Amino acid sequence: MTEMSEDQVRADVRAWLAENWDPNLGLIEWRNRLADSGWGMPAWPSEWHGRGLPVGMAPVVEEEFQRIRAVGVARSGVRMLVAATLLEHGTEAHKAKFLRRILTGEDTWCQLFSEPGSGSDLAGLTTRAEQVGNQWVVNGQKVWSTSAHKADWGVLLARTDWDEPKHQGLSYFVIDMSQPGVEARPLRQMNGHASFNEVFMTDAAVPPDMLVGERGEGWAIATTTLMHERRNADSLRTWTTGVGGDERIYQEEAEEIATAMAPYTWYPQRAGRVDMVLDRARATGKLEDPVVRQEIAKLLIMSKSAEWTARRARAAQQLGRPQGPEGSLGKLASSHVARAAAHVHTLISGSDAMLAGADGPEDGIIAEILLSVPATSIAGGTDEIQRNIISERVLKMPKEHRVDTGRPFNEVRKNTVG
Amino acid sequence: MTGLDEPQRRQRFEPASAPFSGTLKKVQAQLQTSMAFSFTDEQEAFREVVQRFLGDHSSTADVRRMMETDTGFDADVWRQLAGELGLTGLVVPEEFGGQGFGDVELGIVMEEMGRALLCAPFFSSAVLATLALLESGTDAARQHYLPRLASGELRATLAVAEDGGSWDPADVQMIAADGALTGQKRFVVDGNSAEVIFVAARNGAGGDVGLYAVDANAAGLERRALNVVDPTRKLAELQFAATPATLVSGPDARDGLVTALRRAAIALANESAGGAQAMLQSAVDYTLMRVQFGRLIGSFQAIKHQCAELLLEVELAKSAAYHAASAAAERDDELPALASAAKAGTSDSFMRAAIACIQLHGGIGFTWEQDTHLWFKRAKSSEVMLGTPAYHRELMMQHWA
């Protein structure tokens, strides 16, 4: 990797785009050009579809793409987390087989980590992978896998060694989702949507070369994936609309995004829709009710303070200062905000809070808020797990005494379901 | 008016190396655009200086000693705070002998004072009285009072609230007639020890509210220390009977007083954020030394989770307080809403943190010997001082909705 100035990078990408960008290309054809040139993932290594540029240069490249409204690589779902994990832990064969088709969008991926019996205690999972003859045979059930019914491939965390302590007995695999031993069923949520799947694996086969890393390294590798999940959370959230335009490539991108985003239409509602509160209060006349005004004010103070806290964290990061406690609090804060918002929406709506769909306020959006907010304090790490993390990492309080680590998993009481 | 109004406001501050050497030298540093969300290196250094001073002069033993006295402060510490650190003149413009800093630096000082629970007439004199003069005083009055307030040689306070306990100048009933005041003021911070009292009073019945200066020794002034819940903050009731008073504002001081009280509320919000931080630290420290059932109680999730929530509470409070201070320094249009949001949010947070700190200490947390009640009492007085959280939430809604 050679040192390059921002101006050089900008000039290079600009020249390449001038030569290659054409909105009348097909989406996959264009993304193959991106994969060949490395401009789709400038911070990736140059031998694997990148240019080996420092991470800080990626926004410069992105700006140039935006300037001429050029479409980027595919980003939906867990593909970028999988790609980052394979780049770090995969074999050359894995990278050659999967990375390009991840970027072009030709392959879709899902993550097979959580189980009905292992949510917060992920390392207690009991899906079994056994070596039978020349392959791995997988049996077990996974849950909360987004888009598993449409995925070509899955990254799978399964137990390969039952005599090892829980974290050491896990291995990380790539599994072919199209085989008969893998069945994905939609899982309906309390808000009526079905954004995730349950996945049942019955004697599903995994060839030996689809083990990622070494046997028993599964936990460490899954940690890489989860770390990228947190790191990417911000950038993935902004990716919701696509570039937009009449030419062929824009249409194809819009279609891709619409399909990928369909399961998430309720996500804004689960955060509580604080943005709707004042307008709703005004429209219903409840803005004049002093009790409701107090509750609105409490909500606004909390949500604004949470926003400012996040900005303090970002500012510290930009200044290169050590991260203070403000950085780890966002998730917990958003749970409080969402719950308070649901409470306020209920006060504002009164009896209408009983009604959903076309009969409900805001064409059912309020009902969807009330029925989606409970997910906020669970998904992506429950509030209880967040409080553990905050108290242990930030406040340096000791871990709760554990009875499950350091002993063979066989001897540990298994997680129960339900 | 002051440096505050210059678009390119500059910082004048150089941290004194220990021991504190005379008045602080002033250096210029570019204001960072992101200052609402991070302090500059200079501001962080300033915080350390203040922290060090309070570490030396405001231990809980010092607090307990001072709170038992009538005046509630140590004259030596006050002299050092004023002379060596120049804190009494922090927000006073340089032309009046002050440091010319703004609300962000004032917030830093107040946050640290709240953390250390300093017993001193800083809030009454360097905040309330000084801001009232800055925001509503005539040039002559500023010339007359500000240099001595800045140097700390004069201690003053502001008297607004009356029987109803409202700090809204619109609610002032006291009447000034023929250069004399008659009536009663209550909840006057350090009102029993201040040497000058700035009093909000109406120019005749139904007249505009002006600001009047009254000498503590003036004839017809009777001062009575109120029996207070929070002994670290002294309050007084003042009876005026044809007490000679000098008008120190223009004929209508109401807007100026509202702004002064808003900035004071932000300062108090920062103090509360510091107090809440002290409660969190105390609670965590205690749970990491208290053993029950054969283990540190800080290893129980029931305890850890409360502490994590407390940390969230404290950080949200700091964000609201810092943001409001920054808005005040920049004379942001949203200042009225942000000031009330900060006052309401931080006083709730401080109170909750103090309650949690007692709970996490268990029985000893309810004793006089243990220190938590000192902050609990300050949290209670700060909760309602300058308006309750509910009052400020309503004000906020009037500006935001």
Is B185 in a helix, a strand, or coil? Answer: strand
Predicted local confidence at residue B247, as pLDDT: 98
The tens digit of pLDDT for each residue in B208-225 reads: 999 999 999 999 999 999
Predicted local confidence at residue A3, as pLDDT: 65
Which residues in A lie closer than 8 A to residue B287 (C-beta atoms)?
397
CA distance A121 to B229: 48
Which residues in A lie closer than 8 A to residue B311 (C-beta atoms)?
325, 329, 390-391, 394-395
Contact: B323, A386; criterion CB under 8 Å: no
Predicted local confidence at residue B12, as pLDDT: 32
Contact: B37, A311; criterion CB under 8 Å: yes
Cβ atoms of A309 and A330 within 8 Å: the answer is yes
Average pLDDT of the segment spanning B89-103: 97
Axis-axis angle for helices A248-261, A27-37 (nearest 10): 90
DSSP B25: P
Tokens of A153: 């491939």
Q: Is the pLDDT of residue B69 over 70?
A: yes
> Going by DSSP bridges, is the β-strand pair B28-29/B11-12 parallel, antiparallel, or unpaired?
antiparallel
Nearest C-alpha of chain B: how many angstroms from A312?
A: 4
The average confidence (pLDDT) of chain B is 91
Q: How confident is the model at residue B77 (pLDDT cuts 50, 70, 90)?
A: very high
CA distance A135 to B191: 85
Predicted local confidence at residue B331, as pLDDT: 92
**Percentage, residues of chain B above pLDDT 90:** 90
Cβ atoms of B141 and B299 within 8 Å: the answer is no
> For A293, which of B311, B316, B394 is closest by C-beta distance?
B394
Q: For B296, name the nearest residue in chain A, comparing CA atoms only.
A: A398
The tens digit of pLDDT for each residue in B167-218 reads: 999 999 999 999 999 999 999 999 999 999 999 999 998 999 999 999 999 9
Predicted local confidence at residue A77, as pLDDT: 85
Nearest C-alpha of chain B: how many angstroms from A156?
A: 31
Q: Is the pLDDT of residue B349 over 90?
A: yes
Least confident of A158-167, A248-257, B153-162: A248-257
Average pLDDT of the segment spanning B80-98: 96
User: Among A274, A379, A386, A400, which Cα is nearest to B309's?
Assistant: A386
Q: Is the pLDDT of residue A242 over 60?
A: yes
**Percentage, residues of chain A above pLDDT 70:** 96
Which residues in A lie closer than 8 A to residue B390 (C-beta atoms)?
294
Which residues in A lie closer than 8 A to residue B341 (C-beta atoms)?
297, 300-301, 304-305
Cβ atoms of A99 and A56 within 8 Å: the answer is no
Question: Is B311 touching A (CB cutoff 8 A)?
Answer: yes
User: Among A304, A316, A240, A315, which Cα is nearest to A275's?
Assistant: A304
Chain A contact probe: residue of B44, B315, B351, B392 with most A CBs at under 10 A: B315
Least confident of A153-167, A311-325, B66-80: A311-325
Q: What is the CB-side half-sphere exposure of residue B314 using CA atoms within 13 A?
A: 27
Tokens of A259: 């399909």
Q: Is the pLDDT of residue A1 over 60?
A: no
Tokens of A201: 């694996």
CA distance B358 to B376: 8
Contact: A387, B305; criterion CB under 8 Å: yes
CA distance B188 to B271: 18
Q: Is the pLDDT of residue B32 over 80?
A: no
The average confidence (pLDDT) of chain A is 92
Q: Is the pLDDT of residue A237 over 70?
A: no
> For B315, which of A281, A309, A384 is closest by C-beta distance?
A309
Q: For B396, name the nearest residue in chain A, comparing CA atoms only.
A: A297
User: Among B13, B308, B317, B266, which Cα is nearest to A386's?
Assistant: B308
Distances (CA, A) of A155 to A35, A77, A78, B146: 22, 13, 10, 70
Q: For B321, name the nearest residue in chain A, comparing CA atoms only.
A: A305
Which residues in B lie closer than 8 A to residue A301 (C-beta atoms)?
320, 341, 344-345, 393, 396
DSSP A416: P
> For A305, which of B345, B394, B400 is closest by C-beta distance?
B345
The backbone region for B253, taken as left when phi is positive above 0, alpha when psi lies in -120 to 50, beta otherwise, is alpha
Which residues in B lie closer than 8 A to residue A315 (C-beta atoms)?
34, 37-38
**Where do we find the tokens 């009526």?**
A192
> For A315, which of B37, B341, B344 is closest by C-beta distance?
B37
Which residues in A lie closer than 8 A to residue B309 (C-beta atoms)?
332, 387
Average pLDDT of the segment spanning B380-394: 98
Predicted local confidence at residue A390, as pLDDT: 94
Q: How confident is the model at residue A232 (pLDDT cuts 50, 70, 90)?
A: low
Least confident of A121-125, B21-25, B271-275: B21-25
Least confident of A6-10, B36-40, B190-194: B36-40
Predicted local confidence at residue B283, as pLDDT: 98
Which residues in B lie closer than 8 A to residue A391 (C-beta atoms)?
304-305, 307-308, 311
Look at B148 and A77; give whichever has higher pLDDT: B148
Predicted local confidence at residue A231, as pLDDT: 60
